[in-house]
Chains A and B, each alone.
Chain A
């Protein structure tokens, strides 16, 4: 007859050196506690599947906070309820790891409800062991989310009342309603027969992860003699009498036969590929010479304003882009948040010989107003001697300022003549540059490459810049 040698699984440490107590051989759990059973079943499975070296166990807050005393695996201790999120993080960092989130009822079904639900819903390829003993053991016997109706705890001294505390949370049922989990079962530790079933469920939940099948959760109805104030034998009876009627045993979900295993392909691009993928290589290293700019137009502080949809932000960005290409210091700042709503858009652009300090432009030297509200709102902010450029094909009032240069540009009308209203912004860009001589046409063409994402629009935008530039040039004073 073959003999089975009963010994401690190698997944357990020989001596529990992490346990500060003098006894390095015995676990810290109370006599009759179910955690020891569950630990042993897990350790045996991990050893059998030969995955203990790549296993990472997440210890929760609760009596199993010290699960890491025992398991000779990688160990992480997590905050209360957060083990499934921590498990997600380490699993995503090391997809080849076997990650086990070991949680009690308070941890999983009260403070960590969101984390377990969403880890399950994402179908994280992890294994969760949920030890349900209907009480907070570690903190001294308070009500758990799974405390059954009528059960006395230190915080339900008269018994749990549905009118005040609601009903016990049924985790296996809840999780099994989601699409992603592959395996959900509830088992109990009430006797040998049930323990054998529990062992099988625990093995299966680990094996599923070894086979990359997805999210598995096993809920284990487990005795807590200290919390329940019963002796170990009566505790097992209590499971049968009170817990099982509330928490029916069985397989709630099993699609392990149907699912395709996860597969991981590592992608580690080289330096050049990284730069390419990040879009930080520029097509050209070209820079463009600065122009001779009349002193009054140097270091412009520009405000561009108009309706949303007029390409206001793009117009500002093109100025900044062109300035950068001519080796100016530039900045572009959009108005954002509440200011953006209500259909007006504006942005602030600085083009400077020296480093840009404040990027905001409260008193512009150049105002480009593309609609009437913008002109009316910002006209009086323009610095003395500055420029007010406005689209006089849309704005039917004239600026009243006498101490600034006024440049009316029928940008929208000119854009319509070219066949596309939307390029009025580029006509305005060309007109400002033609008028001030701040930047060359070649620079503006080049700036389009960065500003215009769809290449087929390049040509018409170039034309718009030409039209605007010539118009601006003709108005030079």
Chain B
């Protein structure tokens, strides 16, 4: 199929519909409103439903209800809205409901601003709500990935019976790039645990309550096993010019795009530098980072946050390689030149 020039937020809506998602529940918030607007325009066109909820809390609970029905459904919001949703996310994780939640991150804390930040890493990647849970988190860095990873998110959600997060930022959401659209998913398997409002499924119970401590412990152990399996199977990353690299850059989302350009420019100056970008944030690509860390002299982690992913890099490398950090916050996105300057300052001294 020919490529189409499209915004990242629009590609999410198309990707969801191509994946067979037919229900969208959301509350408007900048900079994620385009996803709701796109969903309002396109979901009804293919027999789906878009519903603007009265609150973020209602939206996530509508999603909980729809997911209980075994259908593919989603919601999207931005950082403060995600904070509100966390109650429902915890319940969905506990009740093991597959669904997709998109977070187009913005500046915080509090009302912050609407510029791009990556300050929700801890909130989203480490669980966020109450209880012992984690969710798969995919971080696209291009418009094509906004489509493809959204589709992939639905597959992962169904495969493991879990909510899945798409963690992106305003830049990827607002920018246009050519997209090649995959074929639509036409069949979604019936789920033996879900409620289809028929005799066959009526004995199913969707619940996260386990009164007996031992039962709840058992449930938690089952969840942890699931996360271990996800860590085994669902690690995604991209490496760039790492083969002979002596220095390594690490960043995800929009940052990885800037790092790539920085690597190209530094390489043209003869600096042996490479980049790795985690595509899945949980599961975090620990093994490859540890492997590359063993080969390079030092590492620079770049984030649009106070340093959240960098902790996972430190754990992955077990502090064996010097790890440097550079960040911007509040919605400031560094220019390539700024990264190059930091590389020279921190890695090449």
Q: Which residues of chain A have a CB within 8 Å of any CB of chain B?
A: 18, 20, 52-56, 58-59, 65, 68, 72-79, 82, 85-94, 96-98, 114-115, 117-118, 266-271, 273-275, 277-278, 280-282, 284-285, 317, 320-321, 324, 329-334, 336-338, 355-360, 362-363, 450
Of the candidates B5, B45, B259, the one having the most CB atoms from chain A within 10 angstroms of its own CB is: B5
**Listed stretches B131-139, B159-167, B204-212, B280-288; interface member:** B204-212
Q: From B177, B205, B335, give the contact of A360 (CB < 8 A).
A: B335
Tell whether A280 pairs with B260 under 8 Å between CB atoms, given A88-B51, A115-B54. Answer: no
Question: Are the CB atoms of B184 and A320 closer together than 8 Å?
Answer: no
Question: Are the CB atoms of A88 and B176 closer together than 8 Å?
Answer: no
Question: Are the CB atoms of A89 and B73 closer together than 8 Å?
Answer: yes
Question: Are the CB atoms of A79 and B91 closer together than 8 Å?
Answer: yes
Chain A interface mostly: mixed
Task: State A72–B67 Cα separation when bound (angstroms).
Answer: 21
Chain A residues contacting B64 (CB-CB under 8 Å) are 78-79, 82, 85-86, 89
Q: Whole-angstrom distance from the CB of B337 to the nearest CB of chain A? A: 7
Q: Whole-angstrom distance from the CB of B297 to the nearest CB of chain A? A: 23
Q: From B25, B51, B55, B113, give the contact of A114 (CB < 8 A).
A: B55
**Chain B: which residue is nearest A75 at the CB level?**
B205
Question: Are the CB atoms of A118 and B205 closer together than 8 Å?
Answer: no
Question: Are the CB atoms of A114 and B174 closer together than 8 Å?
Answer: no
Tell whether A76 pairs with B115 under 8 Å between CB atoms, given A317-B176, A358-B261. Answer: no
Chain A residues contacting B215 (CB-CB under 8 Å) are 20
Chain A residues contacting B65 (CB-CB under 8 Å) are 58, 76, 78, 85-93
Question: Are the CB atoms of A334 and B174 closer together than 8 Å?
Answer: yes
Q: Whole-angstrom distance from the CB of A365 to the nearest CB of chain B? A: 14
Number of B residues near A (Cβ < 8 Å) is: 83
Chain B residues contacting A330 (CB-CB under 8 Å) are 5, 177-178
- One digit per residue, 1 when the CB lies within 8 angstroms of any chain A CB and 0 when it does not, for chain B 189-208 equals 00000011111011111111
Which chain B residues numbered 109 to 129 have a C-beta less than 8 Å away from chain A?
113-115
Task: State A330–B175 Cα separation when bound (angstroms).
Answer: 11
Question: Are the CB atoms of A320 and B174 closer together than 8 Å?
Answer: no
B270 CB–A CB distance under 8 Å: no
Q: From A76, A94, A363, give the contact of B206 (CB < 8 A).
A: A76
Chain A residues contacting B69 (CB-CB under 8 Å) are 89-90, 93-94, 97
B333 CB–A CB distance under 8 Å: yes
**Chain A: which residue is nearest B208 at the CB level?**
A77
In the complex, 21 of the A-B residue pairs with CB atoms within 8 angstroms, ordered by the A residue number, are A68-B207, A73-B202, A79-B87, A82-B88, A85-B53, A85-B57, A86-B62, A89-B63, A93-B66, A93-B70, A271-B183, A278-B14, A280-B181, A317-B5, A317-B176, A332-B177, A334-B174, A337-B113, A338-B114, A357-B261, A359-B177
Task: State A268–B188 Cα separation when bound (angstroms).
Answer: 13
New A-B pairs, 5, CB < 8 Å, besides A54-B198, A75-B204, A82-B57: A78-B91, A82-B64, A86-B61, A86-B64, A332-B175
Q: Whole-angstrom distance from the CB of A83 to the nearest CB of chain B? A: 8
Question: Are the CB atoms of A78 and B47 closer together than 8 Å?
Answer: no
Chain B residues contacting A336 (CB-CB under 8 Å) are 31, 170, 174
Which chain B residues numbered 291 to 340 have a C-beta less than 8 Å away from chain A?
331, 333, 335-337
Question: Are the CB atoms of B178 and A285 closer together than 8 Å?
Answer: no
Question: Are the CB atoms of B178 and A324 closer together than 8 Å?
Answer: yes
B2 CB–A CB distance under 8 Å: yes
Tell whether A358 pairs with B260 under 8 Å between CB atoms, given A115-B61, A280-B1, A317-B176. Answer: yes
Question: Are the CB atoms of A72 and B184 closer together than 8 Å?
Answer: no
Chain B residues contacting A75 (CB-CB under 8 Å) are 195, 204-207
Question: Are the CB atoms of A118 and B54 closer together than 8 Å?
Answer: yes
B17 CB–A CB distance under 8 Å: yes
Chain B residues contacting A277 (CB-CB under 8 Å) are 42, 45-46
**Chain B: which residue is nearest A122 at the CB level?**
B51
Task: State A75–B209 Cα separation when bound (angstroms).
Answer: 13
B227 CB–A CB distance under 8 Å: no
Question: Are the CB atoms of A18 and B205 closer together than 8 Å?
Answer: yes
Question: Are the CB atoms of B68 and A76 closer together than 8 Å?
Answer: yes
Chain B residues contacting A76 (CB-CB under 8 Å) are 65, 68, 195, 205-207
Q: Whole-angstrom distance from the CB of B227 to the nearest CB of chain A? A: 22
Task: State A290–B333 Cα separation when bound (angstroms).
Answer: 33
- One digit per residue, 1 when the CB lies within 8 angstroms of any chain A CB and 0 when it does not, for chain B 1-43 equals 1111100000000100110000101000011000000000010
Chain A residues contacting B71 (CB-CB under 8 Å) are 93-94
Task: State A357–B176 Cα separation when bound (angstroms).
Answer: 13
Chain B residues contacting A89 (CB-CB under 8 Å) are 23, 25, 61-69, 73
Task: State A282–B215 Cα separation when bound (angstroms).
Answer: 55
**Chain B: which residue is nearest A90 at the CB level?**
B65
Task: State A360–B169 Cα separation when bound (angstroms).
Answer: 14
Q: Whole-angstrom distance from the CB of A21 to the nearest CB of chain B? A: 10
Question: Are the CB atoms of B202 and A274 closer together than 8 Å?
Answer: no
Question: Are the CB atoms of A332 and B176 closer together than 8 Å?
Answer: yes
Chain A residues contacting B246 (CB-CB under 8 Å) are none
**Chain A: which residue is nearest B22 at the CB level?**
A93
